[in-house]
Structure 1
Amino acid sequence: MPCYRCGARQTDPVRGASPWQRGVRNESQVLICPDCQRLHDLDLDSCATCGSTALICRLGEIECRACGAVRMARTPEGFGESGAYVGSGAPPGLSAEVEAALNRVLGRA
């Protein structure tokens, strides 16, 4: 998954904690690269209880890592109640992303 702001790809991690940060934006979990973390306006969702942006999204729930509040995630546009994409075809940009990944793995130009 690329950084949601700049599109940078996460590389294979070295030993230790990853410098990448997780966040929630528009009800979906996103990754934030170390360079973008330095920005003050990341436009992330915040906790309705404490205002923290330290949120994680999993299994249809959004949990605040600061205060522990948990709420159900709203279903993003284009996705059904199960979280599966229900639009026509694949999610936007997915085919290009898969093609690029295959080209990298198979060594194609």
Structure 2
Amino acid sequence: MLEQLPPLNNETIWQIIEEKLPDDIANQLVWYHLGYRYNFETKTWDTDQVEQSWREEYPTPPDFIENRPPTVKLTRSIPSENKQLLKEELGFKGYKIGEFTPRHTRRATMANWLLSHKKITTKN
């Protein structure tokens, strides 16, 4: 179920945006950085490290690519000063008209949240 996760760096974030990182790995990367941990012995999710509002709303980690509500929550959890990090730090220009789908939006949200998380956690 859970695989070895790639490092949280700009290359990985680009792989999410460009759909080069499989959906399950992209989801797992966000889950991990939200604090979800899978206990292989009990075959359950440990949410002790997950922020309370996430833990209450999503006792098991959500699929951010397939479901809009958890992605909206992810978007709202990005501090306002970090909302444009994909553009500011990676130079991401957005998707081209005609190739833009909800799936692209959700992947971009995941990538931006991870970039914001990285920026916040490396500051401290």
Please confirm whether the aligned pair reaches a TM-score higher than 0.5, indicating the same fold: no
Alignment TM-score, normalising by the size of structure 2: 0.27
The structure with the largest strand share of the pair is: 1
The structure with the largest helix share of the pair is: 2
